[in-house]
Amino acid sequence: MTFSQNILIWYAQNKRTLPWRRTRDPYKIWLSEIMLQQTRVVQGTPYYLKFVANFPTVYDLAASSEEEVLKLWQGLGYYSRARNLHATAKMVVEEYEGNFPNTYEGLLKLKGVGDYTASAIASICFDEAQPVVDGNVYRVLARYFGVDIAINSTEGVKYFKELAREVMDTENIRDYNQGIMEFGAIQCAPKKPYCLHCPLNESCVALQGNKIEKLPVKLNKTKVRNRYFNYLVPVIEAKDGDLRTVLAQRKGKGIWQNLWEFPLLECQAEANLEKVKQFLPEILELKDIPEVTPLNEQLIVHKLSHQHLHTRFWKVKTKTDLTNSIPIKNLEDYPVPVLIADFIERLKNSYF
């Protein structure tokens, strides 16, 4: 029995029932594929269901605002995916009459759709024989064929794509592609794969050579950058007695583009009260002398894959009614990073 035949049989017997497996609708497949980029199925699934409920068709998504899309995306990370998602929905509606391209080449032109996603949509929706090579496929192929070329090297990317193309089942590409990914996720797992009862164990080069834990090979460990964030949280007592505060939208390059946060003072190291008071006028233009107090004693360390954000929130109590101030009860309407969302959650449970 061939490699692909084994994959197809395993898939038929072991596949999970996932919401996007009941359809060939390119819109829904595209949505699921974007959401699952670098994201586990268990984490992405509730977001997929939320999006399908709010935006049943590409027209609904295109008619929404980026702000709404980011709000629904909040917490899923890699927010450029959400911005590209919205831009692509508008493009499909305005330039493609609401129809997604039905070929690999056509799909590649869409923002946020790269080699993997174009292959996935083309094969799943249109039965086009394009191999998918995601993290799961790299692992399965590296182990089964005993390939020790780094999967994230230029040579490796090219080699594994060609290998994937050679061993794919062109007649059953839809099930085969999903099958090899599912096989990698469930059976040929990164750690402690279930080799004992694996249908491919007798011919698996890595297993026979006792190299399961050494494959796949991956280079370049990410180095973490430490950053020191001071969020200045204005607390303004309005005339009606309500509390107001201020949010700012992150612009330009870097993390959390177009998401909202409190006015930020970033320093080279942990800042004390004097430091915050010194630079506060550059962040907030106040007419009075505010009362500034730290809201967390220990720095909150928010960990991203490549940055550690050492964060302190400062209450800035003022009587200046800043322009663009908003009622504190409206804070939850804005798309914010998890770091800010967690803070707002504590705020609800009376932080002041």
Q: Which C-beta is closer to DNA: that of 32 or that of 230?
A: 32
- d(C-alpha 211, C-alpha 201), whole Å: 13
CA angle 108, 113, 118 (to 5 degrees): 55
Binders in 201-230 for DNA, by CB under 7 A: 216, 218-222
| Residue 138 CB-density burial (10 A; 0-12 exposed, 13-18 middle, 19+ buried) | buried
Q: How far is the CB of 97 from DNA (least distance, A)?
A: 21
Of residues 64-103, which lie at the interface with DNA (CB under 7 A)?
75-80, 84
Question: Contact between 339 and DNA (CB under 7 A)?
Answer: yes
Residues paired with residue 318 on neighbouring β-strands, in sequence order: 236
Using CA of residue 269, residue 80, residue 36, residue 144, what is the dihedral sign?
negative
Query: Which region among 57-65, 189-197, 278-286, 292-300 touches DNA (by CB under 7 A)?
Result: 189-197
Residues 141-160 interacting with DNA (rule: CB under 7 A): 153-155
Closest separation in Å from C-beta 166 to DNA: 20
Judged by CB under 7 A, which of 4, 123, 172, 178 binds DNA?
178
Q: Does 344 bind DNA (CB under 7 A)?
A: no
| Residue that has been written with the tokens 């607390």 in this structure | 235
Mark whether 33 is an active-site residue.
Answer: yes
> Site for DNA (CB under 7 A): which residue of 196, 239, 254, 324?
254
| Torsion angle (degrees, nearest 10) of CA 254, 255, 259, 265 | -80
Strands (E), 218-334: 225-237, 243-245, 248-249, 260-261, 264-267, 291-294, 300-303, 307-318, 326-327
Among 170, 201, 307, 320, binds DNA (CB under 7 A): 307
Helix segments in the chain, DSSP class H: 3-14, 26-35, 41-54, 58-63, 66-73, 80-95, 104-108, 115-126, 135-144, 154-167, 173-186, 205-208, 273-283, 338-348
Taking contact as CB under 7 A, which single stretch among the options 130-138, 240-248, 268-276, 319-327 is the one that binds DNA? 130-138
Regarding 169 and contact with DNA (CB under 7 A), the answer is: no
Write down the least CB distance from residue 138 to DNA, Å: 7
From 4, 7, 27, 33, residue interacting with DNA (rule: CB under 7 A): 33
CB of 160 or CB of 318, closer to DNA: 160
Q: Could you say which of 176, 256, 314, 334 contacts DNA (CB under 7 A)?
A: 256
CB 144 within 8 A of CB 160: no
Min. distance of Cβ 80 from DNA in angstroms?
6
Q: Determine which residue in the list 6, 23, 257, 320 makes contact with DNA, applying CB under 7 A.
A: 257
Quick check: 253 binds DNA (CB under 7 A)? Answer: yes
117 is an interface residue for DNA by CB under 7 A: yes
| Choice among 33, 128, 182, 261 that is catalytic | 33
Nearest approach in angstroms of CB 274 to DNA is 28
Sign of the CA dihedral running 280, 286, 287, 289: negative
List CB contacts of 350: < 8 A, sequence separation 6 or more.
Answer: none
Contact 181, 132 (CB under 8 A): yes
Site for DNA (CB under 7 A): which residue of 114, 226, 237, 248?
114
| Token couple for 206 | 């890595």
Q: How far apart are CA 320 and CA 287, in angstroms?
A: 6
> Which tokens belong to 240?
């009606």
Q: Does residue 258 belong to the site contacting DNA (CB under 7 A)?
A: no
Tokens 């940055």 -> residue: 307
Task: List active site positions.
Answer: 33
Residues in the site for DNA, rule: CB under 7 A? 18, 20-21, 32-33, 36-43, 75-80, 84, 111-118, 134-136, 138-139, 153-155, 178, 181-182, 184-185, 190-192, 216, 218-222, 253-257, 302-307, 337-339
